[in-house]
A = this chain, B = another copy of it.
Amino acid sequence: MEMGNRAGKTRLGRDDWASAALRAIARGGIDAVAVESLAAELGATKGSFYWHFENRDSLIDAALAVWEQRSTDAVIALLEREADPATRLRMLLAAAFEMPAEERATEIALLAKLDHAGAARTVQRVAERRISYMAAQFEALGWKPEEAQDRATIVSYLYVGSLISSHLAPKASRGRKRARDVELVFDTLMRARPL
């Protein structure tokens, strides 16, 4: 349980490498997870890294595990403190579309790298958990299970599509545009009529 920024000269542990890797992902995507540059950043050598990890990919997996936990359990635990399903959905969408810049950058970086098997598996699991959580809220609001599942799936598609769009045209996503996306998703889904 060491400090994230390695203030002291204490030895490096797995966690130090993993969180450095996650920071690198937020900064420059998975490609930025380079053993050599991370070693330099942490003041160690490549050989040291290979003591703690089997290879570069298992370091990435460790970083992804941290991200997965933060993107699911942590968020859901927060939402569970709110009793009303509609409010939960609103909070979830708001949180999703107005994420802090670094989290947002991380998620976009992963979406832009789905040819990486580990990233794909992690993103898949996170999407599934979000969808089933949303589906549960829709059910609580009175939709039939299948319709609730459909709606949650649609939200997920829209969310992924809008994130990717903002990555493709970063200019357009500033300010007004993103708020507009939230409205669109809301309007498309929250209306009472069945899909």
Contact = CB atoms under 8 A, between A and B. Distances in A.
Interface of A: 29-31, 109, 111-115, 120, 123-124, 127, 150, 153-154, 156-162, 164-165, 167-169, 184, 187-188, 195
A187 B29 CA distance: 36
Contacts of A187: 195
17 contacts: A109-B115, A112-B114, A112-B120, A113-B115, A114-B168, A123-B168, A127-B168, A150-B184, A153-B184, A154-B184, A157-B161, A157-B165, A158-B161, A159-B161, A160-B160, A187-B195, A188-B188
Contacts of A127: 165, 168
Contact of A114 (B157, B158, B164): B164
A157 to B, nearest CB: 3
A187 B154 CA distance: 11
A17 to B, nearest CB: 22
A29 B160 CA distance: 20
A126 to B, nearest CB: 10
Nearest to A121: B168
Contact of A29 (B115, B159, B161): B115
Contacts of A123: 168
Given A156-B165, A157-B157, A158-B161, 10 more contacts: A31-B115, A112-B120, A114-B167, A120-B167, A153-B165, A154-B184, A157-B161, A157-B162, A158-B158, A161-B161
Nearest 10 pairs of A and B residues by beta carbon: A157-B161, A112-B114, A124-B168, A112-B115, A160-B161, A161-B161, A157-B158, A29-B115, A187-B195, A113-B115
A157 B154 CA distance: 10
Contacts of A157: 157-158, 160-162, 165
